[in-house]
């Protein structure tokens, strides 16, 4: 049973920041060659920093600019990566955004922006990844599976979130996409799972942790009494991408310090 990700290519969307960076570094340490996807010129420098950090530690990484909500860009990214690195073995569908608003004030642009990146972006990348997995077939020297997809969802695929209806809707939909794909491609040995983080300290939720008051308030939701880190998510992603988790497909794995035990009921509700 292969524990490492040696000789496997892992394409991680939105890897120039936060959770994506944590996953990129963890998978590189496990031997994978990393494609550090970033969305625009603006994020090029941080993507290069992530790739350089990996290379300095003896790992392998390239950067690739692509807006995951744009079909042509996604198709080109997969074609270019396959011609440069031979294949893609692991897709981590991580890129995500928030555009929060009270529901009656939410614009169609805010709704579309979140759905386009968080849901359509994951659809486009998953489609291109599965086509490549099927073209390549199983390579037993690398893994017993034909390919692995990890969707980065959220506790908000099951916890409703007032003021964030577009975001919660995108994450709820990811659950059905993930399970339907696991069902459709299980026979071809393609594993598809979701990681559902609770509160992880990244730029997406700075307001939730950057003052002592905000952090105290956040911790009332977390039985384990600490905020999560991108490394926490990286460790789980490595496990889900490796053959150690070969019998796990179609699963949403919550990694949230107990947030989904609904802490407010700890004293009887
Ligand atoms: P982040 O803002 O640090 O990272 C988001 C990344 O997505 C950035 O690198 C950004 O450039 C990239 N991105 C945005 N639009 C893109 C596009 N169109 N194409 C390609 N890349 C794009 O935030 P994060 O917390 O690291 O978020 C990563 C994922 O984790 C998201 O899907 C988010 O919903 C999810 N998540 C985060 C938390 C948390 O507490 N931080 C909790 C649950 C789920």
**Contact predicate 89/15, CB 8 Å:** no
In a domain, 264, yes or no: no
* CB 20 less than 6 A from any atom of ligand 1: yes
- Best mutation site among 12, 72, 73, 95 for ligand 1 pocket (most ligand atoms within 8 Å of CB): 95
Q: Which atom of ligand 1 is nearest to the CA of 230?
A: 26
For residue 60, the model assigns a pLDDT of 98
In a domain, 3, yes or no: no
* CB 116 less than 6 A from any atom of ligand 1: no
For residue 2, the model assigns a pLDDT of 63
Classify strands 90-93 and 9-12 as parallel, antiparallel or unpaired.
Answer: parallel
Q: How many domains does the chain have?
A: 1
For residue 1, the model assigns a pLDDT of 59
Comparing CA positions, the residue from 207, 210, 7 lying closest to residue 89 is 7
In a domain, 265, yes or no: no
For residue 162, the model assigns a pLDDT of 97
For residue 267, the model assigns a pLDDT of 86
User: Residue 77: helix, strand or coil by DSSP?
Assistant: helix
- Best mutation site among 38, 202, 208, 233 for ligand 1 pocket (most ligand atoms within 8 Å of CB): 202
- Specify the CATH number for the domain of residue 199: 3.40.50.720
Segments in the chain below pLDDT 50: none
For residue 200, the model assigns a pLDDT of 98
In a domain, 266, yes or no: no
Compute CA distances 43 → 25, 220, 261, whole Å: 17, 34, 36
Q: Is 167 a catalytic residue?
A: yes
Q: Which two tokens stand for residue 192?
A: 């598809």
In a domain, 104, yes or no: yes
- Best mutation site among 13, 63, 97 for ligand 1 pocket (most ligand atoms within 8 Å of CB): 97
Comparing CA positions, the residue from 83, 42, 12, 68 lying closest to residue 240 is 12
In a domain, 47, yes or no: yes
In a domain, 222, yes or no: yes
* CB 204 less than 6 A from any atom of ligand 1: yes
* CB 249 less than 6 A from any atom of ligand 1: no
Q: Which of 167, 185, 224, 247 is catalytic?
A: 167
* CB 36 less than 6 A from any atom of ligand 1: no
Q: Which two tokens stand for residue 169?
A: 């809707």
Comparing CA positions, the residue from 22, 14, 60 lying closest to residue 38 is 14
User: Residue 256: helix, strand or coil by DSSP?
Assistant: coil
For residue 264, the model assigns a pLDDT of 84
- The boundaries of the domain holding residue 229 are 9-256
The C-alpha atoms of residue 141 and residue 6 are separated, in whole angstroms, by: 10
């Amino acid at each position: 049973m292969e524990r490492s990700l040696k000789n496997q290519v892992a394409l991680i969307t939105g890897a120039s920041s936060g959770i994506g960076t944590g996953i990129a570094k963890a998978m590189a340490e496990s031997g994978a060659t990393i494609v550090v996807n970033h969305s625009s010129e603006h994020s090029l420098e941080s993507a290069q920093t992530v790739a350089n950090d990996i290379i300095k530690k003896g790992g392998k990484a390239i950067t690739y600019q692509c807006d995951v909500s744009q079909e042509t860009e996604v198709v080109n990214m997969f074609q270019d990566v396959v011609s440069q690195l031979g294949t893609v073995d692991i897709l981590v569908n991580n890129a995500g955004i928030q555009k929060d608003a009270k529901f009656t004030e939410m614009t169609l642009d805010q709704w579309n922006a979140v759905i386009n990146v968080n849901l359509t972006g994951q659809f486009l990348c998953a489609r291109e990844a599965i086509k490549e997995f099927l073209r390549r077939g199983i390579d037993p020297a690398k893994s017993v599976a034909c390919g692995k997809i990890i969707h980065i969802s959220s506790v908000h695929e099951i916890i409703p979130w007032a003021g964030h209806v577009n975001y919660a809707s995108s994450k709820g939909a990811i659950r059905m996409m993930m399970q339907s794909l696991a069902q459709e491609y299980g026979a071809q040995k393609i594993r598809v799972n979701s990681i559902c983080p609770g509160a992880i300290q990244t730029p997406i939720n700075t307001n939730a942790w950057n003052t002592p008051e905000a952090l105290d308030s956040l911790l009332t939701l977390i039985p384990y009494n600490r905020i999560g880190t991108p490394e926490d998510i990286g460790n789980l992603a490595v496990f889900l991408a490796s053959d150690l988790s070969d019998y796990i497909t179609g699963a949403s794995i919550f990694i949230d310090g107990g947030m989904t035990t609904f802490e407010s009921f700890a004293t009887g509700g």
